[in-house]
């Protein structure tokens, strides 16, 4: 069965620190990969997505992610975090075609201290 694993459950950083959140998936075929963010009290918002082409994907708010097929990974990065980045981050996979059915990782809580 397809699964998504996020290694970091709770990350605490100071403002201006660099961020990298790990995401690994298990599926041998073609995948579409997503990172979503959920700010406190708000709904899920798409940060970025990958489905083909350049494995380095740039998203909103300065986030980027790199798809490394050989490692089954799609790590999220940001060079310099801000207090406003405090949120829950979810990696998700849509495996096997354009079904729209997403399998989510466990989520990572990011807390940025001012």
In the complex with other proteins, the residue whose CB is nearer, 43 or 69, is 43
Check binding of 105 to other proteins (CB under 8 A).
Answer: yes
Give the length of the chain. 114
For 60, list phi and psi in degrees, rounded to 5: -80, 160
Choice from 3, 14, 84, 106 touching other proteins (CB under 8 A): 106
Give Cα separations from 95 to 35, 44, 83 (angstroms): 14, 20, 33
Cα 81 to Cα 63: distance, rounded to the nearest angstrom:
9
Choice from 7, 18, 51, 80 touching other proteins (CB under 8 A): 51
Choice from 11, 44, 62, 72 touching other proteins (CB under 8 A): 44
DSSP string computed for 34-56: EEEEE-TTS--EEEEEESSS-SE
Choice from 25, 35, 74, 90 touching other proteins (CB under 8 A): 90
Residue ranges binding other proteins (CB under 8 A): 32, 36, 42-46, 49, 51, 90, 94, 98-107, 109
């Amino acid at each position: 069965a397809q699964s998504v694993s996020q290694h970091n459950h709770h990350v605490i950083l100071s403002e201006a620190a660099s961020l990298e959140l790990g995401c690994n998936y298990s599926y041998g075929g073609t995948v579409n990969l997503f990172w979503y963010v959920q700010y406190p009290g708000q709904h899920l918002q798409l940060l970025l997505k990958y489905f083909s082409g350049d494995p380095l994907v740039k998203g909103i708010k300065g986030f980027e992610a790199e798809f490394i097929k050989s490692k089954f990974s799609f790590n999220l990065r940001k060079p310099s975090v801000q207090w406003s980045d405090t949120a829950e981050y979810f990696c998700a996979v849509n495996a096997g075609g354009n079904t729209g059915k997403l399998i989510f990782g466990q989520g990572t809580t990011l807390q940025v201290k001012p």
